[in-house]
Amino acid sequence: MRATRAIISANLDKHDHLEEYFKIIEIIEANENVNPDICIESCKALVEGISKTILIELDATKTAENIDDDNLPKLFNRAMRLLSDECEDLEGDFVVRFSSIIQVLGEIRNKRGDISHGRMAPKAIFSSAKLASTVKNMTESMLEYILEHYFTLDFSSKSKFKYDSKEMLPYNNWLDESIDFPIKKASYSKLLFENDYDEYENRYQNEFKTVDIDEEVKEKLVNLIEVLRENAIKLESEKSQLKDKEVDKKEPEVIVEVEHSTLEYLVNKFNEDLFWTEKRNLMLSIFVVDEKLKLEKFKELVNDILFTEKEPLRDDVRDVMIKPPALLESKKVLPELTVKILKLIEELKGEAEE
């Protein structure tokens, strides 16, 4: 597949990620005569991979997570339609008709492929080297024509945001909070992205990027610290009252003397009122601001963890987030946040012992 390799090599300065397809090309060439079915299966994989690359590049709503992997002809058709919209001299209807060939490739792979689905031995049907050679040549001709047009596009001037990307999460949250959207079960940022992408991008460039996030955080912290100071005064007063109360001998206590303060722990019972000093409340508040959590709900969760000494459930962690992650992101985001929460609790307990 010299032509395919050559056209990719000639454009690696701007599309170096396509160099990954050289591995598949090597497999195609090496198995054309010795393992025809592996050659054909690899041709199908090469067309599928390049179609996905084009589709993700030209359709801002598509990501690696939401591409339909089970329908290659449909995926290829969509990618070619988008490419023909961008390239005036690309014969869209002609290219889309290639999807019939793609359909046949998929059927051959399903019946005879040796790798993707696995086959019992001995295999019932084998493809000939002549068929593999024909498929390889058709694949090369098709990809050469497609890539020749794809490489004419200038992506440097495009600002294609990926809605579900980690980088866009703060902006999406900001958009959702910027408007009182009447549809409670829908996301304003998601609908804006899908139905008016230009406005979505304009607001990012003209409004969101001009917001001084640091100043916002500082302002929130100042307000939180003021509230915590008031709470600290109240807690110190309650501590003094507790010290004056007579201890019930039937309910044993463990008294831990610490410099500057006295922490009282009932046996097998976490004492919430005495634990939350001004410093620990401040540590909690800073964490809440950094991680965008609900202050009161998060404090309740921390109290439960301190009381039970058990790790929180994923649903409990999700409930304390101002903007819970989407289902696909949850598998990564929730465990990471759980680790941070447990680390914070260790720091809070460590401060209590200082």
- Please list the pLDDT of the chain residue by residue as tens digits (354 residues): 899 999 999 998 888 888 889 999 999 999 999 988 889 888 888 988 898 888 888 876 777 666 766 577 788 888 888 888 888 777 767 777 777 777 777 777 776 766 666 666 766 678 889 988 998 999 898 899 889 988 888 765 455 677 777 778 888 888 888 787 777 778 888 888 878 877 888 888 777 765 554 555 555 555 666 666 666 666 666 666 666 665 554 455 444 444 444 344 433 456 777 888 888 888 888 888 888 888 888 999 999 898 888 889 988 999 999 988 887 788 889 999 999 999 999 888 887 554
Regarding whether 130 and 51 lie in a shared domain, the answer is: yes
Per the domain annotation, does 226 fall within a domain?
A: yes
Task: Give the pLDDT confidence score for residue 4 in this predicted structure.
Answer: 92
What pLDDT is attached to residue 246?
52
Query: Is residue 69 helix, strand or coil?
Result: coil
Looking at the structure, tell me whether residues 120 and 17 fall in a common domain.
yes
Distance CA 101, CA 128 (A): 18
Residues 203 and 341 in one domain: no
Q: What one-character-per-residue DSSP string does 202-251 give?
A: HHHHHTGGGS-HHHHHHHHHHHHHHHHHHHHHHHHHHHHHHHHSPPPTTS
Q: Is residue 266 part of a domain?
A: yes
Which residue range forms the structural domain that includes residue 241? Answer: 213-353
Is 155 within the bounds of a domain? no
**Does one domain contain both 271 and 344?**
yes
Is residue 142 domain-shared with residue 171, that is, in the same domain? no
Residue 46 and residue 126 share a domain: yes
| Pairwise CA distance, residues 29 & 97, whole Å | 26
For 18-27, which contacts have Cβ atoms below 8 Å and span 24 or more sequence positions? 18/50, 18/53, 21/46, 21/49, 21/50, 24/49, 25/1
Query: What gap in Å lies between CA 173 and CA 163, rounded to an integer?
Result: 11
Say what the pLDDT of residue 69 is: 61
Query: Is the domain of 144 the same as that of 54?
Result: yes
pLDDT of residue 24: 93
Residue at 158 is within a domain? no
Residue 20: inside a domain, yes or no?
Answer: yes
Q: 126 with 205, same domain? A: no
Same-domain check for residues 171 and 142: no
Pairing of strands 261-266, 253-258: antiparallel
Rounded CA separation 283/340 (Å): 13
At 120 the pLDDT is 62
- Assigned domain for 203 exists: yes
56 falls within a domain: yes
Q: What is the pLDDT of residue 177?
A: 83
For residue 111, the model assigns a pLDDT of: 67
Backbone phi, then psi, for 247, in 5-degree steps? -80, 130
Report if residue 189 sits inside a domain: yes
Same domain, 6 and 146: yes
Cβ partners under 8 Å of residue 260, min gap 6: none
pTM score, two decimals? 0.46
Number of structural domains found in the chain = 3
Q: Rounded to the nearest 10 degrees, what angle do helices 197-206 and 188-195 cross at?
A: 120
Q: How far apart are CA 55 and CA 60, in angstroms?
A: 9
Are residue 72 and residue 124 in the same domain, yes or no? yes
Task: Report pLDDT for 339.
Answer: 92
Same-domain pairing of 122 and 223: no
Long-range (24+ apart) CB contacts under 8 A made by 250-257 are none
Closest-CA residue to 324 (of 333, 312, 336) = 333
The pLDDT score that the predictor gives to residue 192 is 85
